[in-house]
Structure 1
């Protein structure tokens, strides 16, 4: 990937931090419309329906009644949660959005191979998830993601053709240690690695993860046929230029539209 100017990107929570309401079909369609890959966090309701929701409870993102909004989503049926609005607290124009069943997302992916999705495991039985993916025949459109490598390995065994990503957060030392464990395993069961990249470097390099380590990791992942993805939580044109010039071609972002502006500006300068 590093030899081309093509950039691939994930809309973290569908772009739910700033541009669309967390884990809704509106967010998914928004990411697809911009050429990105939405991320859905997946949990299971009391009656066994896999749904898209980041938090354990519905309090932050929905209009669930205050007397029950503190309860985990696993204590409600899908019918109960479908009565809550999951868009209006973000913006009035998203009124009517609900917590979607993962099946709803798959319905809009079936027969449309250009539509991919990241599925971030929160609380789901992997066998059940594998059966649902297989039912829709969208295995090659799914990138399963978790911060435990064993779960990625298990998902690849359960659902043939599904890709996997190990996301690695925390401080620089933890990220480097976890990455090197994955590398030393031969990236077993992994197609992608994601680093959470936080601000906090110096003027020459604005990220906590230092440039030499990123160069090392990029070289090793490229050699192994593994994609290296960066999630810079804060960025501007200058900091994105640094990552793009380094050769990183996969990203995750909370701000799809602003991210694309930075990427397109960089791409136009490469073509001059």
Structure 2
């Protein structure tokens, strides 16, 4: 076993030496190409995806997408067709990149130099030829190799693309057990690892499929497991190098902020530039992963026997005068400089649009205590409301539901088990039964005997002390709850001291119809698309992970405010301050207030700041 391990380690060193020699000849061209192409292709695909989804929303008669209408919109035939079109563009871009990198490796193997424009020409010509030769199967070949070739880009892509994140979450949750999608994902990646060995043979040669499979089997015969082990080692090494670079860049950002910026803007600077580090490392890691993987596969290819193979036409010399001029040394240098200059201008413009100096928004940011003050007291109880008042919160955010006898009480869950221990739905019990339950002892013994309060009781206490954000929950058993909540608000002369929110947009319509003076907010787990048609909402209450500076600016341009929920981490609070939100919902209102005023953690440690940069 030890001899086998030593032998495998020796093989890895051999592959690394071969890979370095292969890359070294045209390393500069590959780096410049990947820098230019990755930024361009990522912007192209993301903008096309945004345009496609917005077009679909418009055709379906709505301007926005939320968690509530997500399935209806995403599973519509038009949306599915547009998604397939985006995938075609994406996979063609991936095929283009593969051919361009292959061209550089082939040139290095022949000990020749290659320029960036020639790499692009080879990429375009090779991708077009590949599609023409396999008009009905090229898409599936790219889809099969995608998990392997994009292994190092997947996490950052999912994290940055919220719509993709939500889609994968929905798919994951659709399975009856969590282990099923995990196993399927592992099997998919394993299949992609094996399938990808055919990619250089398909790209570099024009052979029949059966010949391709035969050559791959002959090349890997009796050493499949060893090659897979080396392949995995390659991927682990790429991953470690990428994370070391990530750590270095993050450390540089923190050092810059500590040395150059004032104490009040250090955290904000680290967070904003940390986002740029994450975006940059997403491109670098993805490029590094794909180039490394293609290089390894190409090494397998050049070790195989090419006897009887028909070379791809992409290796032919340029024929037309225009193409020869395009590939000339002077033109290549000019075009390369022009591409780098254009992308530099774009990056500088994008960075200048961010606000790295923010310590608070230009207007007042109000603070809402989540469920009254769920970190310091049992949620949605009088003790929680009292804490919200003591913490000088602007609002106490509460949830209301209806009992079986029509009373409006404070409760977030439809089931009472989590907060009281009783496994029963709230609409099955009367208020007398609910009032006997202990809503405090599960939080802390000192709150033993805490009751579930009525909305009237909370309003009576809050009047003149604190505003209320009353979120009306929909559970399918409370069709008339809005009418009752509005009546309670009106009877207690509390219209000017509260807002009414809900994830059910029809509830907001009902509230506006009954009393247009009540300020309403649409609570959303996610938001995508336009907001122009949401007249029943005076503001938007959105999960903070889906809020961006552009979203806030768009909402403000419509005369709407933005409320972010639920933030308990200082870095996330600062990020929302940078975005310019109008209200922050939190379990720790005292910390939010300090962040807004720029009075907390004014001299954080290096490790804490590094955590902000890398989170």
Fold match by TM threshold 0.5: yes
Which stretches of structure 1, 4 residues or longer, exceed 6 Å deviation after superposition? Answer: none
Equivalent residues in 2 for 1:10-21, closer than 5 Å: 10-16=368-374, 18-21=375-378
Aligned to 1:104: 457
Q: CA deviation at 1:82?
A: 1.0
CA–CA distance in structure 1, aligned partners of residues 490 and 601 of structure 2: 40
Structure with greater strand share of residues: 1
Matched, 1:184 2:528: no
Structure number with greater Rg is 2
Q: 1:67-88: CA deviations, max 9, x gaps?
A: xx22211111111111111111
Q: How many residues align?
A: 237
What TM-score do you get using the length of structure 2 for normalisation? 0.36
Deviations 1:173-219 (A, max 9, x none): xx224xx2xx121x402121122023xxxxxxxxxx4xxx7222222
Q: CA deviation at 1:120?
A: 1.1
1:39–1:84 distance in 2 versus 1, CA, 3 Å = same
CA contact (8 A) 2:370 2:566 kept: no
**TM norm structure 1:** 0.79
Match of 2:386 in 1: 29
CA distance in 2, matches of 1:234, 1:108: 26
* 1:46 corresponds to 2:404: yes
Does the 8 A contact of 1:197 with 1:230 survive in 2? yes
Distance 1:242 1:75 in 2: 42
Shift of 1:234: 4.8
Aligned match of 1:250: 583
Deviations 1:38-80 (A, max 9, x none): 12211111211110011112111115xxxxx222111111111
Q: CA separation in 1, counterparts of 2:445 and 2:597?
A: 30
Matched, 1:130 2:464: no
Secondary structure of 2:500's partner?
strand
SS in 2 for 1:152: helix
Partner residue of 2:466?
Answer: 115
CA separation of 1:267/1:153 partners in 2, compared to 1, >3 Å: closer, same or farther?
A: farther
Give the distance between the partners of 2:509 and 2:467, measured in 1 at CA: 20
Residues in 2 aligned to 1:267 and 1:259: alpha-carbon distance in whole angstroms: 9
Measure, in 1, the Cα distance between the counterparts of 2:594 and 2:441. Answer: 27
CA distance in 1 between partners of 2:392 and 2:515 (Å): 25
Q: Which whole-Å CA distance do the structure 2 matches of 1:100 and 1:143 have between them? A: 19
Report the secondary structure of 1:29's partner residue: helix
1:225 aligned residue (541, 546, 559)? 559
Per the alignment, residue 496 of structure 2 pairs with 140
SS in 1 for 2:371: helix
Residues in 2 aligned to 1:32 and 1:163: alpha-carbon distance in whole angstroms: 21
Corresponding residue of 1:206: none
More helix by share: 2
What CA RMSD, in Å, does the superposition of the two structures yield over aligned residues? 2.3
Partners of 1:195 and 1:267 in 2: CA distance: 25
- Where in structure 2 are there 5+ consecutive unaligned residues? 1-359, 603-615
